[in-house]
Structure 1
């Protein structure tokens, strides 16, 4: 029995060391996902880069490597699906500010709030984190905070949802009334192609019922550890094997693309789950 426990302990240590080494490797590598969606309402094709959950991560000095990767893709526009920063007291927002401003100098950029931007904007303990992030970037990027913008060249409307804190509750998904999204965003016009920046993918059913043709989400960080045939292991909501963790999902004619994110916070573990820079090709 004694030797058995020693062997088990040794295997646990070896496994933990391997996870940490693999996380160290993956957290410094950029992977690329690409998706193609067709819709007859589009006036012309659109190449979109979608970025989620930067969480102050840096790829090279001032994110030069990540910016170069985006420039190489040469998108028509960029969607940022929330959590550019880490919402913890005492942390700087400079990395997020510099990154958004650099993107905005070269591309049209549309940004939605994640739960980290949401919490810093409503709780006093975070001081001026949100105000600093917003004020220092608002002239370079379009913040969509329960707001929308119509892009006539594409016949496309982009919405950004600033979801209330109770919907980010841990351990279980809070019921969302069908009227909530209409109250926050109004009902979408189905004559245009409607994209929703909705940070939390758990509410895909509600987004689709509201009228989103395409949702872009993050939040789940790919489940940290992706287990083949089983999916992501755990979400920030402390849910094991979340239904939506990475990739493209469909409900009827509605699509949702979930990024595994570019950065992490608190548990900086990635296994079989490299940081995820997403390209979406919308085809008329």
Structure 2
């Protein structure tokens, strides 16, 4: 019987334990430290009354709690001092449904700025969307599933339009995405001549948005690709598969600009790597 090599075991422990602890600290930081990403959107089409209009974009909370009463998120939003807050779906997670945690955030955010919300696939498949919608309306959030509102400032107007998630038309991922309802609404809204801000959970439908002349689009859903290389894109995203095209940041085509949030919470995959939770801030600039 060979002797136990205590020197080797001690060496492994000396190097291994700090490494494990370090990885744990890194993963905790990556999943809980919120970053605010700031953009300026410049377009002469923006009504002058909306110059310097600031939008904070929230997506994919998945009923994650960031501190007591969501204060970590709310303090970040207060720092941005937005004119409106837009939310592009998946406030809750259908697998670990907790509307109370999501509403903690909504109630606090409503005290900062008006909220405009559209649903995501998790609301669609939760089986509890009526409860979610009623709670949002009760606290004064604007639910824009296949609806729009006009924002008025000094007798000038911009449209804020919202798409209901297409997974309300399906029951599982196997069914794929039925975009027929989305296409009908976009064709209807294309005729509107005002400056248009579109809220939609789905970045992978970008071609439909720019083909129908949406000016700005806010989306989420991709979770930043879940795992990101330090200087590159994401690894995998729902409905885009491996090495997805739309995961984070700003995308332009045909006069349309889409801002994709990396989101805040997690769902099936519980860990983010090089992909910290994100709040997106966009300031509208009229360059006339």
Give the TM-score category using the shorter length. Answer: 0.7 to 0.9
| Paired position in structure 1 for 2:141 | 141
What is the DSSP-based 3-state SS (H/G/I as helix, E as strand, rest coil) of the residue aligned with 2:112? Answer: coil
Alignment of 1:86-165 (within 5 A): 86-88=93-95, 91-120=97-126, 126=127, 129-139=128-138, 140-153=140-153, 155-165=157-167
Q: Cα distance, 1:132 vs. partner?
A: 2.4
| Paired position in structure 2 for 1:26 | 30
Checking the alignment, whether the CA contact within 8 Å between 1:172 and 1:239 is kept in structure 2 is no
Q: What are structure 2's unaligned runs of at least 5 residues?
A: 1-17
Worse-matched range after superposition: 42-51 or 244-253: 42-51
Which portions of structure 1, spanning 4 or more consecutive aligned residues, are displaced by more than 4 angstroms? Answer: 14-21, 166-177
How many residue pairs get matched? Answer: 262
Q: Cα distance, 1:256 vs. partner?
A: 0.3
Please say which structure displays the higher CA radius of gyration.
2
Q: What are structure 1's unaligned runs of at least 5 residues?
A: 1-13, 121-125
| Paired position in structure 1 for 2:3 | none
Q: Cα distance, 1:52 vs. partner?
A: 0.4
Alignment of 1:217-256 (within 5 A): 217-237=219-239, 239-256=241-258
| Paired position in structure 2 for 1:54 | 61
Checking the alignment, whether the CA contact within 8 Å between 1:51 and 1:259 is kept in structure 2 is yes
What is the DSSP-based 3-state SS (H/G/I as helix, E as strand, rest coil) of the residue aligned with 2:66? Answer: coil
Deviations 1:233-272 (A, max 9, x none): 0112371010000000000210000000011112111111
Q: Cα distance, 1:72 vs. partner?
A: 1.3
| Paired position in structure 1 for 2:207 | 205
Deviations 1:169-197 (A, max 9, x none): 758975856x8523477223453111111
CA-based RMSD of the aligned residues comes to 2.7
Checking the alignment, whether the CA contact within 8 Å between 1:159 and 1:185 is kept in structure 2 is no
Distance 2:171 2:39 in 1: 27
